[in-house]
Amino acid sequence: MTDSQLPVESSGGGARLPATGGAGSALAVSDAPGRALAVALQQEDARDDDEIDLLAYWRILVKHRRLVIGVMAAVVALALLKTLMSTPIYRATATLQIEKVGAQVVQVGAAQPTEMYGGWDPDFLQTQYELIKSRSLAERVAGDLNLDRTAIERIYQPGWLGQLLSQLRPKTKDQETTGPKLSAAEEARRQLAAGAGLISGGLTVEPVRNSRLVRINFDSPSPQFSARAANAIADGYIAAGLERRFGASSYAKTYLEDQLKLAKARLEESERKLVAFAQRENLVNTGDNGQTLATQNLTQLNAALAAAQDQRIRAQARWRQASSGAMPADMIGNSNIRPLQQQRAQLQGQYQLKLQTFKPEYPEMKQLKGQIDELDRQIAQETASVRASVKAEYDAAAAQEGMLKGQIAALRTEALDVDGRSIEYNVLKREVDTNRQLYDGLLQRYKQVDVAGDVRDNNISIIDRAEVPLWRFKPNLPLNLALGVLLGGMLGVLLAFLLEFLDDTLKTPEDIEQKLKLPVLGIIPKLGAKENVASAMSDPQSAFSEAYRSVRTALQFASDRGVPKTLLVTRTGSGEGKSTTALALARHFAQLGKRVLLIEADLRNPSLRKTLGLAKTEFGLSNLLSGGCTLADATLAAGEERLQVILAGPLPPNPAELLSGTKLVSALTVVGEQYDQIILDGPPVLGLADAPILGNAADGTVLIVNSAKTRIGAAQAALKRLLAARARIVGVVLAKYDSRAAGYGYGYGYGYQYDSYYSYGARAPRLTKG
């Protein structure tokens, strides 16, 4: 559309005309609210809202409640069907206690590495759990229970469903043939593998937390077999452990026997080499420490020499003492010197006493003198005798020391010669000692293992043996139903959120306020399946009529001058209740006593004549704008007081050029002087140039949005086109709103209640600034 096709300035309407320069310049010079709204729309797609609205999630679930309940019911039905069709499984449980070491019956070393019990050892316990689940134990239990093909088929008989399916699909002759006959060994191996697979498949090991107890569970369709298998697994596990210990002891015993034979042979060989070398070298070893005769004699002579030197030193000291005149006290005590000295002392005392009376020449004095001299001579003789004895003792000790030194010198040479020849002898002797110690150690260990092998200690004990279960373990009907409800609910919720995520339509007033940044003028409820627009509009007590009265009330406060005199009603696409809204607003404004003119400005797809039930006329808006008729010729009575209508008339070839002429503005100016309210029933905004032209010419524009049908992108695009044409958008009317489908129940946060007429008068609609 070119600038020449836009309405030109007319008297009194110049303020409503767009500036030249296209849509871009029109948007640039538009009013401040329009620019703010356009910027908000451009930033809405890039804005990331991190807030979590739990109420919005709840409304989504309420909206899709039938889907959630349906999916939940389907999953629960499948769980119930699966439970009823499943074969009952019975679980038998045996409880074992596993210690790290068993009771020591004999205090000898074990034949396999063990550790004393010293706390929690998860590696040891995990090893035992894996041993319980091992294939060898499963084969052992299968052999103990005699599980052949017939026994397995008897245990796992098909249920009623399997029997029915087998009857419906009988085996063919090719399937009944078993193929080539297997050997007995191959058949036994296959049966053992099948039995082991059955045992492994039904076995579960359940450790008891914070203890050394473990539960052995076995599941099967037969309760009796479950108990037998659980007890057989426990017994087989204990027996296998004992056999492993006994096998370790037997292996150790055999190994020690072989080592003993080798050690004995080495000991005998080394002893023969030692004896042969001693005979060849003429070496005699009589001591336990490996000394020869020469070494032993030398040792003894050294000890004797030390004693002789000690004796000679003592004798020498006594002789030196005796030579100096001081006799040894022990020699004086053993001689007559001391009694003679005492007698002399007595006589000397008598002599001195009598010398006081008599002179020395007195006979009695001479006699005493003679006795004293005799005693002196005897004492000197005894002293000489003692001195000679000490000298003889010293000489004898010195002679003995000299003799011992001579013998030691002779033996030293012989001992050195023998030691030189005993180096290899000592090497051979050490080898003999080493081999003897190794042989003695192996012999002692062999005897210990022999004793320990006959005594079997067990570190595993059965606490509770398995009993025949009275109730089935699975399928568990309450648990399966609970899981079905849980999984079904989760799946239904996920589907509900997925559908809501894929749904990009405007559904609620919050969506309009958040996405379009426009106030909601009113909410038009969706009619039921048995209701129609004509009957709903004719009933003033209906929620449908009351909703339009609420829109009329909201429009009265849309601006500071009240309702815009020329009001355009348009929509984004088709089928959104635009014509119904225009007619309803015209009627309700007429009910206020206003003179209302309803103009059908949709020159491409008019529908107002059919809605009003009017006869086909010759003139309409297209004739009026093209100059083919007058305003009086185009104006018709709508069947209601103070309400007149101008229909579209004949469809022009290019309505946009017709609407962009100057006559539209002139016609609106003329009818504005004759009527209190003018309502334009405009065409859709998207894809057509008609709606932006009408929006520029009108005083206000009302955008109709169909709930859960109008897409967000389409509504935003329509809003941008209207803003580019400098249209003054008053607000949005949300049509065909289903409160139950939207998840709001019967009421909505704006105060709208659709149960009765009186609920609308309780509260006024809350409008946002726009």
Cα–Cα distance, 319 to 163 (Å, whole number):
131
Q: Which residues pair with 747 in a beta bridge?
A: 753
User: 260 is written with which tokens?
Assistant: 């003993």
Residue 586's φ and ψ, nearest 5 degrees, are -60, -45
pLDDT of res. 747? 42
User: 551 is written with which tokens?
Assistant: 């829109």
Cα–Cα distance, 623 to 534 (Å, whole number):
29
Q: What is the dihedral of CA 385, 390, 394, 396, to 10 degrees?
A: 50
- Spatial CA neighbour of 658 closest among 694, 634, 695: 694
Q: Which residues pair with 523 in a beta bridge?
A: 734
- Spatial CA neighbour of 267 closest among 50, 440, 483, 482: 440
- What is the per-residue DSSP string for 552-586? HHHHHTSSTTSS-SEEEEEESSSSSSHHHHHHHHH
Q: Are 505 and 711 in contact (CB under 8 A)?
A: yes
Cα–Cα distance, 45 to 32 (Å, whole number):
21
User: 128 is written with which tokens?
Assistant: 């035992």
Q: Are 715 and 636 in contact (CB under 8 A)?
A: no
3-class secondary-structure state, position 47: coil
- What is the per-residue DSSP string for 585-597? HHHHHHHTT--EE
- Spatial CA neighbour of 61 closest among 524, 745, 738: 745
State the amino acid at position 688 in one-letter form. Answer: L
pLDDT of res. 370? 83
Beta carbons within 8 Å of 763's beta carbon, 6+ residues apart: 751
Q: Are 673 and 700 in contact (CB under 8 A)?
A: no
pLDDT of res. 738? 84
| Per-residue exposure over 400-436, b if at least 16 CB sit within 10 Å of its own CB, e if not | bbeebeeebeebeeebeebeeebeebeebbebbeebe
Beta carbons within 8 Å of 259's beta carbon, 6+ residues apart: 442
Residue 186's φ and ψ, nearest 5 degrees, are -65, -40
pLDDT of res. 152? 80
Give this prediction's pTM.
0.53
What string of H, E and C letters represents the secondary structure of 249-297? HHHHHHHHHHHHHHHHHHHHHHHHHHHHHHHHHCCCECCCCCCEHHHHH
The pLDDT tens digits for 160-198 are: 555 566 566 655 554 444 556 667 788 788 888 888 888
3-class secondary-structure state, position 3: helix
Beta carbons within 8 Å of 744's beta carbon, 6+ residues apart: 59, 62, 508
Q: Which residues pair with 323 in a beta bridge?
A: none
User: 139 is written with which tokens?
Assistant: 């084969």
The pLDDT tens digits for 406-450 are: 877 777 776 776 766 677 777 888 888 898 898 888 888 877 776
pLDDT of res. 465? 94
Q: Which residues pair with 566 in a beta bridge?
A: 678
- CB count in 10 Å sphere of residue 214: 22
pLDDT of res. 768? 43
Q: How many helices (H) and strands (E) does the chain have?
A: 28, 12
Cα–Cα distance, 597 to 640 (Å, whole number):
11
- Spatial CA neighbour of 743 closest among 17, 7, 56: 56
Query: Please, how many CA atoms are within 13 Å of residue 431, restricted to the half-sphere of its CB?
Result: 17
The pLDDT tens digits for 233-284 are: 999 999 888 888 776 667 677 777 888 888 888 888 888 888 888 777 776 6
The segments of the chain whose pLDDT lies below 50 read 1-33, 48, 103-108, 110-118, 174-177, 745-770
Cα–Cα distance, 17 to 3 (Å, whole number):
11
Cα–Cα distance, 344 to 366 (Å, whole number):
15
What sign does the dihedral 389-394-397-403 (CA atoms) show?
negative
Cα–Cα distance, 90 to 92 (Å, whole number):
7
